[in-house]
Structure 1
Amino acid sequence: MTHCSDSEINEQSDDRAGKLKKNQKKRSTGGKHVSFPPDEQIVSGFAEHRDADRRADSCLTLTEVMEAYQQSCTRHQVQPQAHVLQQLQQGACVGGSVKCLDLKGERLDQRSCEALEVVLKSLHFDFINLQAAQLEENGASSLLDMILYYESTTHLDISDNNSMGTSGWRALAHLIKQSVCLSRLDICSTPIVDYPAMSLSKALLTSRLTVLHLHNAQLSGMPLFTLVGALKINRALQELHLTNNSLNSYQDALQLGDLLRYNSTLKTLELSNNALADAGLEELCDGLRWQTAGLKVLLLRNNHITAHGMVFLASTLPILKVLEVLDLAENVLENEGIQVIRTSLMVNCSLKQLGLSQTNITCEGAVALAEVLAENHHIQRLDLRQNEVKVGGLMALCLALRINHSLAILDLDHVPPEEQDEFLMETQKRLQSEITQCCLTNARRCGLDTSDTLTTEADGAAESMATV
């Protein structure tokens, strides 16, 4: 087995990228064939009749693909991945397309990656999961080049792989820039600093990606500055998820505010579990004022925001035109914060969903929100779970729903805060039942689906409000 120096790896990776670009331009000529040699050499060539080969390979049954994979493993002198064989055996194939290739936690060295070529060549996957696959530099480079060349997936998760090296990140950048198929990419729990940050940002300048998850990627500071610089120009990305990045209320919030000023393509921005605080919310609100046809979903769960930050939101809410979902859960807003935004919520015409779970609201805050519902006929969903909303607040909400015809979902605790008096407990149950019936009536009247629930991110961090 031979080993490449860093300089050799860089030269070989650049050469491979050049061959990839050249061969993609002349697919109609020649008869070369893809070769990923077992002696850790870098890819030596690509099939120039890729499309024709792919159509022929898509006629293979999953059993035939499984047999071809086993033969490939023999050639590369590695044991077949039992999990791969199991998935191929149990999978469902429609026209060469399979739902998922799940390699999470499997150790994929150079030879194991090369042996997967026949699988990636023969099948298209809706999702390829390479999370925590212990990818090394040469293996990552080869595997990502294969995924690009064969356009093997629309969703790739390469999270928690910290040893991809320069060549691996360069190959990932080529994939992001050149793939016409890849629409979602997850790179979570992986430090995106220095070269990875620059490489990713440069690739995003011309990328077709529409969804990008970068949770827990150490993006605070210069990496975020670099990323935002590219996204100001990007006109393809629609969802950006930045949970758990220790984003602060100073330079990070300033960059995110600039992003909202200059990018009108982004539809969803998730910033949950950071430290933007009140000063950061001010910067975001300044950016939101420039959004006339862009951001629809802003998730700010657990960002140390207080009632003071609601002052900035109160001045922005009346002029918002496109923001439909705002999640402020797990921030200490208290009743004071709800009172600050009460009047602004009454006149806002864009918000359809408002998340206020675990924000230290009591009956006083619920009464203020009931006043909002009596005036605002645009909000379709309100989340008040994990708050101390007892009979007084429920009664106000129930009365508001008798004249409100838009609210289809009011999320309350299944086990409400306990009342001391038995009569109050019975009243509590009756009010919750009436609220449920009013919401169902509104949903039927508006033709809305009430089956959606708040979904939790895989890392247990942000709860995203599902579209009603």
Structure 2
Amino acid sequence: MSSEQILEVYQESCKKHKTVELDIIKNQINDITNNMDHSTDLKLIGISVTSEVNETIEDLLKVTNFNTLILQHCKFTPETLNEFLNMLEFYESVCHFEIEMHFDDDDAWRCFCHACSNIMVLESLSFKKMDISEPYMRLLLNAVRSNPNITMLKFDSCGLDKLPSFYLVESLMMNKTLRELYLPSTGLYTKEAEVLARFLMNNTHLKVLDIGNNFIGDRGLESLAKGLCKQNTPGEGLSALSIFNNQLTEKCGPILSTIIIECKNLHTLNIGYNNLTDVVLNHISLSLSSTESLEGLGLQCTLLTCKGIESLAEAIPRNQSLQKINLKGNKAIQVYGVELLCQALTNSKINKVEIDETNRSSSDPDAYAQLVKKLFAICTVNKSFTDVTDNEEITNISQLISRKMSLSCEPKYTMPESSSSFQIDSPRLSPIPSPVPSPAPKSRFQIVKVTESGSSCSSTNVSPSPSPKPKSRFRVTKVPSSPDEEYSLGRFANVRSSVSSNDSMDSLTTLHLDSDDSS
């Protein structure tokens, strides 16, 4: 059926069931170009799903195949949610779930997991900003285990660190069907990195692992490397790893170098938004020269300068696999650094370099911009000469999956919640009206009311010294900073500090990969 015919079906259904035609659904129907290959998404965002709305959606599912179902902040009753999930299971017209809503009813979650088990066209499950308890996680993982077609799990900004012994990863240890696992912004620290290391030692079926925007630090990376370096058989093991914005420092350079050398199947590595500096490029330049698998390297916002680019430029001509590099956000790369890259790329297979097209901090912004254009032109030429080699089937699968991972970063700077902290709109600020005067505001400034004639009202905070007659009924008087304010201002001052999570970097003088016996 064409999009026009599908739209007519939907409109007739709305008339039949006496419900309002939703523009969000009509617009998505108009986007359908081919109704035979799951070419469009069904986004249900912020709508109230009644029984009548369910009837209209069912009429759509009878005649339309959708690629992704996005449920975001929709209002269901327990009855309508069960009806909706049963329809999805019956018609099997959705390949991917993206869920951002709360399941208030246990039966509704069971129904959802039951549908995931039985929808045989379902390939991926994505959850965002959801609290998934251990009982819920058990039901979900049972569904994943029983449906071999589910190859991707994503938990974005979900508090998985609260699960005992990181139950999610422990339960997937022997899973042979899952290929992609995304855990961004899930509050992972060193202890969770240790669990992931055990997972990688026992599971070589997973191809993509994303743990960006977490807090594993250098110690966590050291633990993770023990598992990664066990995957040293070509064609087996992880193909893409993203650890951007994880409080890594320049002291992890030897570990990153070892990972690049030892992981024979690693095609994509994103380590952006970490305090790596030029020291790390000095360490990994040798490994870049010897690796035969790494195709993409993400170095966005990693405090690189021209000195680090020198090391990278020396390694590029000796590398036979690297094709893409992301260097955006490194403002200290000047004209000299871009010149070195241009020279190095002429003898390489690199066909894409992401770098800032303009740099106002450069001593010569115009020359910088011209060199970047030259750099892009060289990449275009390299791309035209790139040969698609016929590798083994499993290697091609690994490369194909690894290319799903972007070398760009979307950092989220968050801090661990304190038990004593609360939001501005928290009811604890003023639970009930009180006749007791409020305490003085904890601010560096205090507004003091003065009389019309200019003399201040009685207040101990006003200076007794004479002052000119003010032009306002209010006077702003500077007061000392409070300890609470200093703490509040300092909470985010060192979000990207060199201090690794869970460990004091004062004691982190050297990092090495311990043997399994000593771990």
- TM bucket, shorter chain: 0.7 to 0.9
CA-to-aligned-CA distance 1:130-152 (integer Å, 9 cap, x gap): 12213343332221121011102
CA-to-aligned-CA distance 1:350-400 (integer Å, 9 cap, x gap): 110100010011111111111111221211011111111012222322222
CA contact (8 A) 1:110 1:136 kept: no
Q: Give yes or no for the alignment of 1:335 onto 2:278.
A: yes
Given the superposition, is the C-alpha separation of residues 427 and 242 from structure 1 closer, same or farther in structure 2, using an over 3 Å criterion? same
- Give matches, 1:203-222, under 5 Å: 203-207=143-147, 208-222=149-163
CA contact (8 A) 1:261 1:288 kept: yes
Given the superposition, is the C-alpha separation of residues 137 and 303 from structure 1 closer, same or farther in structure 2, using an over 3 Å criterion? farther
Give the distance between the partners of 2:3 and 2:297, measured in 1 at CA.
Answer: 49
Max Rg structure: 2
CA-to-aligned-CA distance 1:238-273 (integer Å, 9 cap, x gap): 2211111011112x1112112222222222111111
Provide the secondary structure at the position in 2 that maps to 1:227.
helix
Give the distance between the partners of 1:349 and 1:394, measured in 2 at CA.
Answer: 25
The one-letter amino acid of 1:307's match is E
Give the distance between the partners of 2:156 and 2:3, measured in 1 at CA.
Answer: 38
What corresponds to 2:17 in structure 1? 73
Give the distance between the partners of 1:358 and 1:218, measured in 2 at CA.
Answer: 26
Give the distance between the partners of 2:289 and 2:252, measured in 1 at CA.
Answer: 18
- Give matches, 1:312-391, under 5 Å: 312-387=255-330, 388-391=332-335
Given the superposition, is the C-alpha separation of residues 400 and 122 from structure 1 closer, same or farther in structure 2, using an over 3 Å criterion? closer
Give the distance between the partners of 2:116 and 2:156, measured in 1 at CA.
Answer: 18
The one-letter amino acid of 1:152's match is S
CA contact (8 A) 2:319 2:348 kept: no
What corresponds to 1:432 in structure 2? 372
TM-score when normalising by structure 2: 0.69
Provide the secondary structure at the position in 1 that maps to 2:68.
strand
Q: Give yes or no for the alignment of 1:187 onto 2:127.
A: yes
State the number of aligned residues. 393
- Give matches, 1:232-381, under 5 Å: 232-250=173-191, 252-291=192-231, 292=233, 293-381=236-324
Q: Give yes or no for the alignment of 1:200 onto 2:140.
A: yes
What corresponds to 2:40 in structure 1? 99
Greater shift in the superposed pair: 429-438 or 232-241? 429-438
Provide the secondary structure at the position in 2 that maps to 1:274.
coil
CA contact (8 A) 2:179 2:208 kept: yes
CA contact (8 A) 1:136 1:164 kept: no
TM-score when normalising by structure 1: 0.76
CA contact (8 A) 1:390 1:417 kept: no
The structure that is helix-richer by fraction is: 1
Query: Of residues 353, 361, 380 in structure 2, which corresponds to 1:410?
Result: 353
What corresponds to 1:229 in structure 2? 170
What corresponds to 2:62 in structure 1? 121
Deviation at 1:59, TM superposition (A): 13
Deviation at 1:429, TM superposition (A): 3.8
CA contact (8 A) 1:96 1:123 kept: no
Provide the secondary structure at the position in 2 that maps to 1:272.
coil
Deviation at 1:115, TM superposition (A): 5.0
CA contact (8 A) 1:69 1:80 kept: no
Percent identity over the alignment is 26
CA-to-aligned-CA distance 1:199-242 (integer Å, 9 cap, x gap): 11222222221222210111114267221133222222222111
CA contact (8 A) 1:114 1:139 kept: no
Greater shift in the superposed pair: 354-363 or 305-314? 305-314
Provide the secondary structure at the position in 2 that maps to 1:285.
helix
CA contact (8 A) 1:394 1:431 kept: yes
Given the superposition, is the C-alpha separation of residues 330 and 258 from structure 1 closer, same or farther in structure 2, using an over 3 Å criterion? same
Higher RCO (CA-CA < 8 Å; seq separation 6+): 2
What corresponds to 1:445 in structure 2? 385
Provide the secondary structure at the position in 2 that maps to 1:212.
strand
Give the distance between the partners of 2:252 and 2:304, measured in 1 at CA.
Answer: 16
Given the superposition, is the C-alpha separation of residues 425 and 90 from structure 1 closer, same or farther in structure 2, using an over 3 Å criterion? closer
- Give matches, 1:81-96, under 5 Å: 81-85=22-26, 87-88=28-29, 91-92=32-33, 94-95=35-36
CA contact (8 A) 2:194 2:223 kept: yes
Provide the secondary structure at the position in 2 that maps to 1:130.
strand
